[in-house]
Amino acid sequence: MSSVSSVSGSGYSPYSVIANGGTYVRAAQGASELAMQERTKQQVGGLEAGSENLTSAGSALKVEDGAMGEVTGYLQSIRELSVKAMNGTMSDSDKKSIQDQIDQYKKGIEDIANNTTYNEKKLLDGTAKDMTVASDANGSSETISGYNMTLESLGIKDFDVTKDFDLKDVDKALDKLSDSRTGAGAKTNGVEYSLSYNSHAALELDGFQMDKEEKNSVDAYQQLKTKQALDAYKTTLQKKQQDDEERKSMMLFA
């Protein structure tokens, strides 16, 4: 009885633990348990915030890859037209017509490089350097990169089939683009892995916390039942003592 009374007197109440679904809200209910509960909540919160960051990073990577896919299409078309322009039977007028089409494709590439953005950050004009995103509350992070898909960076700014030209310039641009897409793909895999890990870890921590809260509720219910039984026993003893005292008093006056 004294142990239950001392716990109750310290500010612990099984009623509050049960009412809060096994969640501790005061250190008096269990300082170490409360500290562990808060740490678990912080870890879950950090994982959830990190997942939001990673989702945003994944979206940026998808925007990059989609845009670079369009650049790939333009470059392949430029290469096809360049091969046609290598036909020695073509007139200067024919080559001029081909170059006009190539210039349209080059403009399309430049527009993509200058206008591909995510959250107002340009991704393909060479201004976006490495972007680090926190993936949890413990300092882990993922880094995604911006790329440079401008005509100058690709080496085809002055590419002109009406003059002396080298088809290898277009091939080098395609190789550079392929390398960039491979890098972006690897970054995407890393982000997706981290997202999967965060999801799994958060579920594990939530499950752990739910198990602890269920145990806390069971323990609090058992303590409550014990206290109620002891209180009832104490009341019975007090009633018996009162009855005995009343009988003794009556015997004195008999």
pLDDT over 70 at 19, yes or no: no
What integer pLDDT is reported at residue 60 of this predicted model? 94
Written as one letter, the residue type at 52 is E
- The residues facing 122 across adjacent strands are 117
The enclosing H or E element of 125 equals none
DSSP 136: S
Confidence of residue 2 (pLDDT cuts 50, 70, 90): very low
What integer pLDDT is reported at residue 234 of this predicted model? 73
Please, what is the average pLDDT of the chain? 80
Report whether 133 contacts 54 (CB < 8 A).
yes
CA 234, CA 240: separation in Å to the nearest integer? 10
pLDDT over 80 at 127, yes or no: yes
State mean pLDDT over 26-52: 67
C-alpha distances (whole Å) from 78 to each of 83, 100, 102, 168, 180 are 9, 11, 6, 12, 19
What integer pLDDT is reported at residue 136 of this predicted model? 80
DSSP 126: S
CA 111, CA 67: separation in Å to the nearest integer? 10
User: What are the tens digits of pLDDT across the range 96-123?
Assistant: 999 999 999 999 999 999 999 999 999 9
Report whether 47 contacts 209 (CB < 8 A).
no
CA 84, CA 104: separation in Å to the nearest integer? 17
User: What are the tens digits of pLDDT across the range 172-231?
Assistant: 999 999 999 999 999 999 999 888 888 777 666 655 455 555 555 555 556 655 666 666
The pTM for the full model equals 0.67
State mean pLDDT over 132-158: 91
Query: If we measure between CA atoms, which residue out of 228, 225, 229, 128 comes closest to residue 180?
Result: 128
User: SS3 of 245, please?
Assistant: helix
pLDDT over 70 at 126, yes or no: yes
Percent of the chain with pLDDT over 90: 46
User: What are the tens digits of pLDDT across the range 21-30?
Assistant: 445 544 445 5
